[in-house]
A = this chain, B = another copy of it.
């Protein structure tokens, strides 16, 4: 049974980001975490996590309070509604099942108790929940962590866990409710004193700012097969691809009321071009995913800002082509995984 002083957290997705989140929530003593694992469920139930973390040091055979293989069905199991459900999975709205379907067994559509926290990238990720769970507070988590899972259950965190938490707009509930939940979540996540988890008033700004990297460098590396260091060295790639794409994001954000460059001297584009220059030869997530034959998060990272910008009248020729190519790359993965079928070759 849950410790009554602790908030119950269902954390879906115990990969490199989610696991460090689980550690922060548990070590603070204010949360009891149930983690849902898929690919690494066997490894973690047998041996626990093996974690090497710049924030937490070395943790061996570590486990949160509960480790589960699938999202529990509250209507069938004797489980009280969770205080928080944190989503730290990748997000591919173009590949079924949807995230909303995944969460539904633990989150009735009429829910008002449980707060949803989306530690996921991109734009408009809260929209499906506004439709399926109209009265649920939904929080935005923008993570700037550097962390990887080189083997199932083995987590290497080499850059600090910085997490921006704020409330997505939801016209169906009082604005203050979302803000309170966001501040409470920051408190329980920060209680251990290891993570830099900060409350943010301006969720849209956080998300558009991260898109300067994620809608541009991320797909460009995935498509060209050059990591972020090589892309900087490759003849003409920054001027020809990266900078034009980033400028389009800055203009789209501006058209949506988000000013990413308040001062010329702190140009976000030049900052993002250089941001991981210290870590030469870093593969952004989409490039790593293409390399592993995984789906890529191109719809929320590239498709949504492109659609928002175009609808606001911003010319986005570079992102348009990158988006179309990313879509074709995703189709290739869908075919490889049997999600689309092609006719046999014709004789001639």
**Min CB–CB distance A70 → chain B (angstroms):** 30
Chain B residue with minimal CB distance to A324?
B240
* CB contact under 8 A between A235 and B327, given known A321-B317, A332-B225: yes
A-B contact pairs, 11 of them (CB 8 A): A223-B223, A225-B332, A226-B328, A230-B331, A233-B342, A234-B331, A237-B327, A279-B345, A279-B348, A317-B317, A318-B321
Q: List residues 322-344 of chain A with CB under 8 A from any CB of chain B.
A: 322-325, 327-329, 331-332, 335, 340, 342-343
For the complex, is A224 an interface residue (Cβ under 8 Å from B)?
yes
Residues of B within 8 A of A230 (CB): 331-332, 335, 342
A250 is an interface residue with CB less than 8 A from chain B: no
Chain A residue total in the interface (Cβ 8 A): 39
Beyond contacts A220-B328, A224-B332: 11 other A-B pairs, Cβ-Cβ < 8 A, are: A223-B223, A229-B345, A234-B331, A237-B327, A237-B331, A240-B320, A241-B324, A278-B348, A279-B345, A317-B317, A317-B321
Instruction: Tell me which residues across on chain B come within 8 A of A346, comparing CB atoms.
Output: 278-280
Q: How far, in whole Å, are A318 and B320 apart by their CA atoms in the complex?
A: 8
A327 contact set on B, CB distance < 8 A: 234-237, 240
How far is the CB of A315 from the nearest CB of chain B, in Å? 9
Asked if A271 lies at the interface with its beta carbon under 8 angstroms from chain B, I say: no
Most interface-central of A224, A229, A323, A332 (chain B CB within 10 A): A224
- The answer to whether the Cβ of A231 comes within 8 Å of any Cβ in the partner chain is yes
A8 to B126, CA, bound (A): 73
- Residues of B within 8 Å of A343, CB to CB, are 280
Contact, CB under 8 Å: B280 / A328: no
Measured between beta carbons, the chain B residues less than 8 angstroms from A233 are 340, 342
Contact indicator B321/A226 (Cβ below 8 Å): no
